[in-house]
């Protein structure tokens, strides 16, 4: 059974490219465009890994990460924060809230796939 990835981003072009990339890599994919939809999709889709944008409507990626990490049933789920904000303070905040990795936009798709595979293998 393929591993499941939830892509959460409010920029349609990023969602489309990530969805194409992850499906091409053999993952089952679901998408959400804001923080509230992300939490609904986590419940419905039960992803193994979430690619989570930081700056989004309704709830930020930080808020979503914090809510997911507060749920013991989701402790095995991997979270990769995606953001245009690459300052050390943002990275530290994302990791402190429980993200497993932090990727800055623009990112190399090859590096992102390697990061996703590595996290899921470490599972």
The domain that holds 18 is classified in CATH as 3.40.50.2300
Task: Give the number of domains in the chain.
Answer: 1
Name the most confidently modeled range: 28-37, 91-100, 104-113. Answer: 28-37
- The alpha-helical segments, DSSP class H, found in 27-87 are 35-45, 61-69
C-alpha distances in angstroms, 13 versus 10, 87, 98, 122?
9, 24, 27, 29
pLDDT at residue 115 tops 80 = yes
Burial of 67 (0-12, 13-18, 19+ CB in 10 A): middle
Q: How confident is the model at residue 86 (pLDDT cuts 50, 70, 90)?
A: low
Domain span at residue 73 reads 4-122
Q: How much of the chain, in percent, has pLDDT values that exceed 70? A: 98
79 — pLDDT class (breaks 50, 70, 90):
very high
pLDDT at position 95: 87
């Amino acid at each position: 059974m393929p591993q499941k990835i939830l892509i959460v981003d409010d920029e349609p072009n990023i969602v489309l490219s990530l969805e194409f990339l992850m499906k091409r890599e053999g993952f089952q994919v679901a998408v959400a465009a804001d923080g509230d939809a992300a939490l609904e999709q986590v419940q419905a889709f039960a992803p193994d890994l979430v690619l989570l944008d930081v700056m989004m409507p309704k709830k930020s990626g930080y808020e979503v990460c914090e809510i997911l990490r507060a749920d013991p049933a989701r402790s095995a789920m991997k979270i990769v924060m995606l953001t245009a904000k690459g300052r050390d303070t943002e990275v530290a905040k994302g990791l402190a809230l429980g993200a497993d990795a932090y990727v800055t936009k623009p990112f190399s798709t090859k590096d992102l796939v390697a990061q996703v595979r590595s996290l899921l293998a470490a599972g």
